[in-house]
Structure formats: structure tokens, C-alpha cells
Chain A
Amino acid sequence: MFAATFAKSTRSLNPVDQAPQPYWLNQRELGTEIPMINPIMQGRDRVIDVVTTSIAWFAQQRYFLQSFSPDIRAFLTSGATIRERHDSHSTTSTQVLLPSLHCDIGVSSMQATADPLEDPDSAPGWRGRVVTCVSWLLGGGRGTRRMLNARIPLREALEMMPVPIVTVDHRNQITFANARTIELFGYTREQLAGASAEMLFPIRGVGGDHLEVEERGDASQIAGVSTTQVLVARRRDGVGFPAETNTTKYTVHDQVLRIIAISDRSASQEVDRNRKELVHLARVSSLGELAGSLAHELKQPLTAILFNAQAAQKYMESETADKAELRGALEDIVTDNRRASEVIQKIRTLARKGDIELQPLDVGDVVRDIAVLVHSDALTRGVRTRFDISENLAMVWGDRVQLQQVVLNLLLNAFDAVKECAPAERVVETTVREEPDGGVRITVKDNGLGLTVDKMDKIFRAFFTTKLQGLGLGLSISRTIITGHGGRIWAENNNGKGASFHVTLPQGTGLRQGCGPQSP
């Protein structure tokens, strides 16, 4: 799930958006005017690059660079896939790597291919630098040849890489770990050498396969073909963190070696956590709106309990204690107590800060639960609510609390929408129906003023609100939740008055377990 998200976000990154400024500023601070190439990319791209470069270093003992396969050359020349890393750590090692680079570069070639989108002031742009790199690799300068002819073992090449890299043999034992790995995990080099890879990655990843990849014959040993996984990594101090690993197989002397580049994904986990906090915050805020009426929802059973208990006392006091009446009163006390507990439970569930729990759900039940909670609020606001829920609905995979949050949000919005209507016209209808394709549709229909065209576009955006006391997050978060469930949420104006909000959720079987609301 992390992997999918990450790959998507990497692909969607526009190189121009990456603002290379800090990196170059950093360079100037270091007093080096050398145009650096940083062949480090994020995620998948990064490891392909790292591995390819490593291979380039390794392979050039025997081959001249010209003999590179067209694929690799095409890859090297395609600037679009290269991403720059802004990390200041990375610059130090590349300085070592490419000291003689600048002298062999034809300035004209740099300018010719410079990205027109780039700021002309910001020195040669990243694409220019890629071309520089390629022309350096392909070019025939004396310095270059000297560089390429130097025998640099794979070990040393990997050691210089500014990403944590380990190599693992066919028994899943670590054969090598570079300096960054040692820094990241806190083990010493000795501790790592020969240890099982499971020491670093103790838990199976979400993607299913562990690092322990079974051999699938020659086909899987093509250099440059990497697999990406998100795993839980554990430091020496026992602290776990999410890590993305990019594994590439490589054969050296008939030995299959897996080169694993690791990137720490803690930061993205924090983003994920913040998003969860936000969803929770919005939910609690909705509950806050309801607070007064929820109190009433509790007062009802409490009042009934009190009356029944007092009646029971009176029966006891009277000479002719009517056992049947007494039993009736006590039974009702028990029932109302349960009813009060259920309300509290429902409130607690909604207010709870819990992990997402995917389970097969009857959407009808989800809506019924919320109907109980908004009952009093509707009464206070003079809104008549109708709930028309089909029986035996198709089951849906989902998180109960999150779906309840969406329904609650839609209902509260609808109550607001009918606020200005005449008392008799304040009606909100909710229907839950099975879709012809097996999914389930929830429709919340109000007969308020409806939505203007410009609002229709904006309502699902974050921080857009028409209310005086609204965060403007409700619908935006609802959409995040519904999309996460593989469903759809949209609004339309009714033929008559008001607007309808529709939510469709796919039928359970269509949804793989494990994907869902956690992926944004």
C-alpha cells in the first residue's frame, strides 16, 4: 500500500516542481562550482539508477562503455526519469565520485538540451546535468578513460552510494552493508556481515513477499529489473520504522546476489498519521456539533429508567405489591439501560482514535447507527428525517467508523441545508439501495436551496465551506474516505428543490482485502 502510493507520487512529480534551488545553493556554500550529477532518484527510479551505475562501474573492467546495451544507454539519456535528490548528505559522496567531471563537458551540449522550463539563472538545470553525465560516460576524454579504466570493485562502488544498500546472498545472509546502512540501522559492520536479512526486516511486508525471494531461474536475474516492497525495518535499538526496499538481482561468478537499496519511509508514515489525525479531528468536530442532542439521546433512557425505578419503589411500598407490574418495571429498566449503553458505545466508537479496521459491513447498519445519533438533533432543528434502508444489502468491505463518519457528515450537512426552509418543508430523506452491479448506494436528499454550479465544483475541496462555523473539511475527508473504499461520492441538484449526495461502494467481493481506506 505504501509502495503503490509512493510509486504514484513519484511518477506524478514534475521535475520543475522539485525546486532544485536548495541543492545548488548548497553547492555554492560548499564553494564548489562543479556541476554535480546526482544520479540518485527517489523510490524505484533511484534504485534503477544506483544499480545501473554500480553495474557501470563494475562492468567497465571488461567492457568499454560503448558496448552498453541500447537499453541502458537509452535509459541513461532519458532525462525524464532522473530525479534529483536534495539531501545535503548525498553531495559529499558524489563529489568524491566525479571529481574530474567538469573538465570534459562540452558547454554547448549542455545548453542545447537545457530544459526550456528551467530558470536560466539557476546554473545548468538537472536535465543538463544528466546530459553532462551521459556525455561524460559516453565521451572519450582522457580523464574519463582514466576514470573508467580504474578498477573499482562493486563493494567499493556500493560503499560510496549515498543510500543504504545491502547485498544478500541466496541464503538470505547479508554479505555486505554500506556505510549508510550502518548509519541507518546502528549495527556495526561486523554484526551485519553474515547476519540474516531478517535481522533488519523482521516482519513480512504488506506486499506479501518477504525479502526471501525464491529463485525463479535465469529470467529473474536480469540486471536492472528491480522489485519494490514496503517492509518494517528494525534498528539495533529495537525501534521499527517503515522502509521501502528496492531489490535487484545480479549474478557475480555464478552467485546470485541481491542488491537491496533501502529508503527510510518514516516521514511518509508521519504524513499518513497526520492525515489520520485530521480525519479523527473532523469526526470529533461533527460529534461536537451533535453534543447537545446526544445528551438528549441519553436523557431519554435515563428518564425512563428513573420513572421505572420510582414506580418499582412505589409498588414495593404498597400493601398489594403487583408482581407483574414490578417485573415489567424492572425489565424496562434493563432494556433502557442497554439502550443508554448503546448510545454511549456509538458515541465512543465515533470519537475513538482507532486504526482502520476493514470488515464486511452491511451499509444499512452503518446508516441505522447514525440515524440513532442524529435523531435528537433532527428533532431539535425541526427536521423530519426519513430512512429507507433496503434489507439484505450486499456486503461491503469497509471501516465502520469511517463510513459512519461520512453518513453523519452528509446528514448534518443536509440538516443545515434545510435550515432556511419552512418548518413543514424541512425534510431529509436517506435511502440505501443495492446497485444493479451489486454495489451499495447511499443517497441523502434534502430539499434546501440546492447547490449553485460554482459550489458544485468546490464543495469537495478542503477548506471550502458555506457555513459560518465550518472547517470545510467534512466533504473533502468524506471523499478521501469513500475513494479509499474504492467508492465514489458526488452531489447533484434534485429535479425539484434541494440537492442529493450519493455515495456508492463496491460490493465486498470486488475489493481485495488489504487495500482500501489507508491508501489516500
Chain B
Amino acid sequence: MSQPTTRVFVVDDDERVGCALTRLLRASGYHVECFDSPEAFLDRTDLASTPACLVLDLQMPGMTGLEVQHKLDQLLPIVFLTGHGDVVSSVDAMKAGAFDFLTKPVSESLMLAAIDRALKRACIEFAKRTQRAEIEERVNHLTRREREVMALVLTGRLNKQVASDLGAAEKTIKIHRARVMEKMKARSIVELVRLAEKAGVHAADDE
């Protein structure tokens, strides 16, 4: 299986812990990037360019781990690594979608397993994201009229009905529909529906 290169981001305000963790992860064969402040990490624009997960310290001066999690908005799976994980903050983190929550000092196998699982999830998410981006790209190439037609077709309406809805000739709608199928690279209506779902394009009456 040809996997794209995965990355592990490490954010820990304690430079020495961050450095040691980076070293361990590198020795374990990961590509690691280490940041000593959440701000420096969030400034990076290429976070989504490869499948990646984040190992995040919970308590940091300035921005806390939970705030970083909020800002990232599920972009990356997050493995929290904290020195004083209380119940409240761990529950908060998990509710907000943390992938895992580990306390320092953590056993190597436990941590590496968590990172592996996080990366696996990241790969899936990344693939989905890539696909969605691709479909969105296709949707972007549709004209306004083609999008309108597609939205109605997705609800299962016939060409005739679409024509009457849009006040156009059925013939014209047919042409539009063929263009939609071509641009969306869909071979059947079923495939078009699936693609639209993946891209989050809604059928007309869903709105």
C-alpha cells in the first residue's frame, strides 16, 4: 500500500521534553517536527499537506492544549501528553475529539501505539480530504446552471421535471446534465450521488 509520508508534530513548551520526545520518535522511524510554542505550530500553513498527527502538551503558557485543539478544529488527530492530567481537562479534551490522552511519564509502547493509531486515522482522514478536495475541484468547474441542474438531479427528479422547475427546455437540461456527468467524472447517477455526498454537495430540497 503506497502511503504518503506521515508526519508527527510535537508541541511542548518544555524544550527538553520536546527534544527528547522528538529524538525517540525519530529513532522509532517517524518524521517529526517539534515546536516549543503552540503559536509557532499554528503559524505553519502546511499542516494538512500530508497525513499527520499532533502530540500536544496540555498545560502551556499562553495558549493551553485545549485552545490549540479548538483552533485546529479536527484537522489533525491529537494525542495529548500531559504532566498533570486532571479528570476535568481530560474529559474536556476527549469530548472535543482528542484521539488519546496520555500522562507523563508515559510508557514507550503505549505512546507509540497511540501515535500509530493516530497516524492511521490521519491517513484515512487525509485520503478522504484529498478525495473531497478533488470532487470539490470538479464541482468548482461546473457553471451555475450546471450546479442547479445537478442539485435537482440529485433529488431524483426527471429531466422533464427539472426543465419545468428551471423554466428551460428539456433538451437544454439534457445537455447540462451530460456536462455535469462529464465534469464530475460520474458514470451513473448513483456515482454522482456518492460523489456529491463525499463533497458535501447537497441535493436541492435538503437546504
Contact = CB atoms under 8 A, between A and B. Distances in A.
A48 to B, nearest CB: 64
Nearest to B16: A304
A292 B83 CA distance: 10
Contact of A303 (B23, B62, B83): B83
A295 B60 CA distance: 16
Contact of B20 (A293, A307, A314): A307
A384 B14 CA distance: 15
B64 interface: yes
Contact of A311 (B27, B84, B104): B27
B105 interface: yes
Given A300-B16, A379-B60, A307 B24 contact: yes
B165 interface: no
Given A380-B59, A382-B64, A300 B83 contact: yes
Given A303-B105, A380-B84, A332 B19 contact: yes
A308 B104 contact: no
Contacts of B104: 299-300, 302-303
B23 A384 contact: no
A379 B59 contact: yes
Contacts of A384: 61-62
A300 B17 contact: yes
A296 interface: yes
Contacts of A235: none
Nearest to A317: B27
Interface string A278-317: 0000000000000011011001111111111011001100
Nearest to A292: B84
A306 B83 CA distance: 14
Interface in A306-338: 306-308, 310-311, 314-315, 318, 325, 328-329, 332, 335-336
17 contacts: A296-B83, A299-B83, A300-B104, A301-B16, A302-B105, A303-B83, A304-B19, A304-B20, A306-B20, A310-B24, A311-B27, A328-B23, A329-B23, A332-B20, A379-B60, A379-B61, A380-B59
Interface of A: 292-293, 295-296, 299-308, 310-311, 314-315, 318, 325, 328-329, 332, 335-336, 339, 376, 378-380, 382, 384
Given A303-B17, A310-B27, 13 more contacts: A293-B84, A296-B84, A300-B104, A303-B83, A305-B20, A306-B106, A306-B108, A307-B21, A308-B20, A311-B24, A314-B28, A318-B27, A380-B84
